[in-house]
Chain A
């Protein structure tokens, strides 16, 4: 009997040890990012020296990604994991990191990078915070990548990290980063010119996803369709918002692609406004293949909406 027990224990031990994977050292740096935007920025500076993949899809609500085991297959071989941080991924990324069995990407290890440290963070709550305010982010608004200036800063941060992990190609990463910065600066001039006529315009949005975008392009987000972050619209709040929009002559509603359009559409019909389905992330539409196209797209539909609601 005891022998059988011992046999069972050794079977368990055997099953777990013989299955050690053949960890072939890949030449390319294997980078996994939580969101597509970080993947795009990493691709910009890493070029063909890195293999980048994002876990969440660009059209998915980044707060509510399911921690699928298939993500573990990606994470277990990652050399670097880049997250948005500020608790955006708190509901799904930590258990994945713990279960990945990959010591390189554990928080605090060299292969874990929280991109928020490089970016300008807005809406950092001051004073006492409670959930009476909804699903607030105590560390500040995590949708910070929607400001091209932050995109540039994050790219710099990623470059430093890539250079640290792969010193051989550091020169290349730095050169690619300078090139990216140059192209971004040029394109930013174009975007600024496109958005110049609409500076100071008031808009409303569904969720607080756009403070960085609004700051950069001079928009004023004065109301939200959600009464509190993460709380679905209520009739009384909707009426208040409709009154505000009528009073201030606000016509534009910025809606993330993962929210239901019923309430935004009814608000639009009551105020003569327009629902603008802005994309918060690369990959939100098939044509938004990189960080540049993300702003091209959002600015494009925004300009069109402003012209239509003049």
Chain B
């Protein structure tokens, strides 16, 4: 960059000096001005012309700098000049002297292959998000350690080619690694379709789609724990297609259809290759004003339950399918003029889970979750939460939880949480959460969590 600046400064200097001394081919007007006696005294018009030339040259310097930045960004591959071609009047005089200087200055020695800078330029965006949680309180049903480096999420994201981009999120626990998500998104499909293939969090409701670090709480709601596979959720390998549906009155309507292998925590189990699961999600969104909006969703998912093994199917003579239904609603308020200081978000999700279960003899041949009941189970759960940002770095919120247990819907857990979040900067977050859970076993768990989250590198923004 510096070399280029020097070269271009030279160009400007040369152009001006050559124009002043020799007065080479010039517009007729300036030549006529020099015809008079006082050729040493430049007229106002001369000055104007000179100024115009300097401006044009400046423009060309800026344009070349821009092209250089573009080239650097694109891995030093020469790009087609997108900058406008110089105006004819600018090109006339300075061109002869300018051209050779630029040509000699521009190419840098290339010692085989792309330079180090070029290879770095094509590196994907890499980010690491740490999630450290300290917990206090007694909870024998869902115990948490006193300190844990809960998750270290490595994100590797880049545009693959003109047709697709790829996003990988590897979730490192303290001892093991899981691929949280790793998928390719086809961005250049015809007719407005967006398709994905790989492993991804399913578009079932809101919380299931969110990574830990964008949740407004330390934990996930009870309904997620009990009915939608807990922290891992419905997260499976498969394909996804989404499309915006034209809708009147500025409503945004989008349908997402997904098909997965059928393995997701305790929700779905694929014991055969065609035990696939499906997810359908319809989203409706509308800006009520510039400052507030509503976001509604309906989801359905279906797949084989863990009871659906050949052995048990053979014994009981029927398939064991899990159906999940969900509706979600969100209201957001954010005054645009003070968007970094104040905001309010209220959200709620209602989820129903239905599954048929064999008699408890089945639990002799497979591992059943504790308290499994026999027969048809219809479990319901919900959470409602609200968060208010009362200063640039401070958020306060609460959540109410209630959920039946999926494998024994007569058991119901309830809970509530208060959350206070502080952001030292955009890249770090300190959060405290007090959680009371009243378990179906008639036990109250009072717990306090302190969470520290911090981000390194360029983590691509998540969808709204």
- A residues engaging B (CB < 8 A)? 1-2, 5, 8-9, 12-13, 15-16, 19-23, 57, 59-61, 64, 66-70, 72-73, 76, 90-92, 94-95, 97-103, 106-109, 114, 116-121, 124, 131, 134-135, 139, 149-150, 152-153, 156-157, 159-161, 230-232, 257-260
Give the distance to chain A from B125, nearest Cβ to Cβ, in Å.
9
| CB atoms of A153 and B244 under 8 A apart | no
| CB atoms of A76 and B464 under 8 A apart | no
Identify A69's interface contact among B162, B254, B340, B461, CB under 8 A: B254
- Alpha-carbon distance between A135 and B393 when the two chains are bound, in angstroms: 15
| CB atoms of A68 and B464 under 8 A apart | yes
| CB atoms of A101 and B464 under 8 A apart | no
- B residues engaging A (CB < 8 A)? 1, 55, 58-59, 62-63, 65-67, 69-70, 73, 82-85, 159, 162-163, 165, 185, 187-194, 241-246, 250, 252, 254-255, 257-259, 274, 276, 278, 280, 283, 285-287, 290, 293, 295, 302, 319, 332, 334, 336-341, 392-393, 425-427, 458, 460-464
**Contact residues in A for B188 (Cβ distance below 8 Å):** 103, 106, 109
When C-beta atoms are compared, the residue in chain B nearest to A160 turns out to be B84
| CB atoms of B190 and A103 under 8 A apart | yes
| CB atoms of A161 and B259 under 8 A apart | no
| CB atoms of B257 and A69 under 8 A apart | no
Give the distance to chain A from B39, nearest Cβ to Cβ, in Å.
28
| CB atoms of B339 and A99 under 8 A apart | no
| CB atoms of A70 and B187 under 8 A apart | no
| CB atoms of A12 and B257 under 8 A apart | yes
| CB atoms of B274 and A5 under 8 A apart | yes
Given A106-B187, A232-B392, A260-B341: A157 and B278 interface contact (C-beta under 8 Å): no
**Contact residues in B for A12 (Cβ distance below 8 Å):** 241, 257-259, 278, 280
| CB atoms of B66 and A119 under 8 A apart | yes
| CB atoms of B340 and A61 under 8 A apart | yes
Identify B244's interface contact among A101, A134, A150, CB under 8 A: A101
When C-beta atoms are compared, the residue in chain A nearest to B392 turns out to be A232
**Contact residues in B for A106 (Cβ distance below 8 Å):** 162, 187-188
| CB atoms of A119 and B246 under 8 A apart | no
Give the distance to chain A from B335, nearest Cβ to Cβ, in Å.
10
Give the distance to chain A from B10, nearest Cβ to Cβ, in Å.
18
Q: A139-B69, A153-B63 are in contact. List 17 more A-B contacts (CB 8 A).
A: A8-B302, A15-B257, A16-B193, A16-B242, A21-B191, A67-B463, A68-B285, A70-B250, A70-B286, A99-B194, A114-B70, A116-B66, A121-B69, A135-B425, A153-B62, A230-B425, A230-B426
| CB atoms of A160 and B82 under 8 A apart | yes
| CB atoms of B69 and A95 under 8 A apart | no
A-B contact pairs, 7 of them (CB 8 A): A66-B334, A72-B244, A73-B252, A91-B461, A95-B463, A95-B464, A106-B187
| CB atoms of B255 and A19 under 8 A apart | yes
A-B pairs, top 9 by smallest CB distance, nearest first, are: A12-B257, A103-B188, A117-B66, A101-B192, A69-B252, A69-B285, A156-B84, A160-B84, A120-B62
Given A15-B257, A107-B159: A69 and B283 interface contact (C-beta under 8 Å): yes
| CB atoms of A16 and B243 under 8 A apart | yes
| CB atoms of B340 and A64 under 8 A apart | yes
- Alpha-carbon distance between A149 and B188 when the two chains are bound, in angstroms: 36
Given A92-B461, A230-B425: A21 and B246 interface contact (C-beta under 8 Å): yes
- Alpha-carbon distance between A57 and B245 when the two chains are bound, in angstroms: 26
**Contact residues in A for B67 (Cβ distance below 8 Å):** 117
Identify B193's interface contact among A66, A101, A161, CB under 8 A: A101
